[in-house]
Amino acid sequence: MSESGRVHIVGAGLAGLSAAVKLAQGGRRISIYEATRHAGGRCRSFHDPVLERLIDNGNHLVLSGNQAVMAYLAVINAEDKLSGPQRAEFPFVDLTDDTHWTVRPDKGAIPWSALSSSRRVPGTSIGEYLSVWRLSRATASQTIGQCLATEGALWHRFWHPVIVSILNTDPASASAELLWAVMKETFGKGEAACRPLIAVNGLSETFVYPALRYLRAHTCEVQFNQRVRAVASNGGRVTALDTGDRIDLDSDDAVVFAVPPTPARQLMPELVAPDSFRPIVNGHFRTQEAIPMKTFVGVVGGMVEWLFLRGDVVSATVSAATALSEMAESDIADAMWSDISRVLKLDAPCRGPYRIIKEKRATFEQTPAQVARRPKTETALDNLFLAGDWTDTSLPATIEGTIQSGFAAADIILNRKSNG
């Protein structure tokens, strides 16, 4: 591909934006086609008229060891948009007995803190921590239930809430290999790599708007309400896109599909991709006043798994929420508020304004069988590439994996240009 070739990116979610940012860095001309009226996909913020507050579509926590996230934010000048504690701390509460504790990773890779009963998760023994070595040796076909004991205090008070939030899949049946890919790059590297960071001003202000400003400054065309309905190919290459109008491609143009697997398969019926998905349910509640607590807390022994606090808005998250997603929103709100009021010691028996968001297909089901269906970045068509958290990044379907997928597609295109 020559330097003059244009890259056509289908989808302005985080995968498409990260691909575009990397390509713009490399001097490529870019056109983005987004089917909706906004960028960001599942990673965005919006003003809710019921709460009268800015809320995120979903609650996300990134870690300081997420290298792709940090590289992306550095390019778009948004590194200061993430905030978190100076030390790596993960507060938890168990609603079954009101036990509170904080997980503080060791400074180095070796978890010496497991030797101290005061540093361990309450009720756990040293032996429970030793089982992590089996996770480090996991193969692609193994589940977490085959590597870790799915009972005991460490499972219920650490592994289960952490795994379900990372993999959005029943923890026992989820991919052990994917979990280890995260653990070795964060907890496995010590405290400096696993400080929890939150987009305090919202996901859009952190990941989306700065990227759009950067891309427009690099003369990238971003077209909203432009759905790519079909592609034409000839001679092993994409030759045209159909958005209602035909967009003919030059011989040195490239295309990146940065859309979820279902629309990708509609455009490429022969594509093998994950076809089973899991929901996430988030509830956002406005309180009478701001709550002076930590910005997030893990919850054990209730329905809610994580709480996030931002001013006078409390947000609750339940992952792998298949049954919950079928419930009425009012019933979900009542159940969530019951947990929230207990965790935060609120006297108010009745909840105030709320918003329930059901993301029915939040991620693909991250079992070994579904992971095996993840496609590579390159396709059978020479100038067509894939990006998205469902592609074969070797990471779970997280913000880190999404950005890495976009970078991977961009790197291949840029390397072909330099070698061509």
**The two structure tokens encoding residue 26:** 């490399």
pLDDT of 264 reads 97
Question: What does the block give as tokens for 209?
Answer: 């708007």
Cβ atoms of 280 and 58 closer than 8 Å: yes
Whether pTM > 0.85 for this model: the answer is: yes
Q: How confident is the model at residue 419 (pLDDT cuts 50, 70, 90)?
A: low
Does residue 2 surpass a pLDDT of 50?
no
Contacts of 209 (CB under 8 A, 6+ apart): none
Does the structure show a pLDDT above 70 at 325? yes
| 393, two tokens | 């990044």
Q: How far apart are CA 19 and CA 393, in angstroms?
A: 14
Report the pLDDT value the prediction gives residue 112, as an integer from 0 to 100.
86
* Domains present along the chain, CATH in parentheses: 6-45+202-275+367-419 (3.50.50.60), 105-190 (no CATH), 277-364 (3.90.660.20)
pLDDT in tens, 341-363: 999 998 766 678 999 999 999 99
